[in-house]
Amino acid sequence: MSFIRRPDNVPRTFEHELDESTTISQLLKNLGYTSDEIRMMQTFVSTVTEKDNVRAQRSYVLKDGDHLFITLPVGGG
């Protein structure tokens, strides 16, 4: 079993200034997550025009007004 712990410097909800070409993966690395942790994450984006969370690849370039939702797949039986 593995665990991903939110870095101490990252609140649950926050706004963040980004360069225009920042991808989801780059943002997560800058926040302190490792490549292995990022690989396990499922990422969803809600945009200015699309209010519902839509699955987004980690290569997605974030835009002004995007809301990023991160979750981990859960399995069991």
pLDDT digits (tens, 9 = 90+) for 8-19: 777 777 788 889
- Break the chain into its structural domains and give their ranges: 1-72
Using a cut of 0.95, tell me whether the model's pTM lies above it.
no
* DSSP assignment of 17-68: ---TT-BHHHHHHHTT--HHHHHH-EEEEE-SS--S-EE--TTPBP-TT-EE
Per-residue pLDDT, 77 = 61
Q: What is the pLDDT of residues 30-44, one digit of tens each?
A: 988 899 989 989 999
CATH code 3.40.50 for 1-72: no
Residue with the bigger pLDDT between 48 and 59: it is 59
Stretch among 23-27, 48-52, 59-63 having the lowest mean pLDDT = 48-52
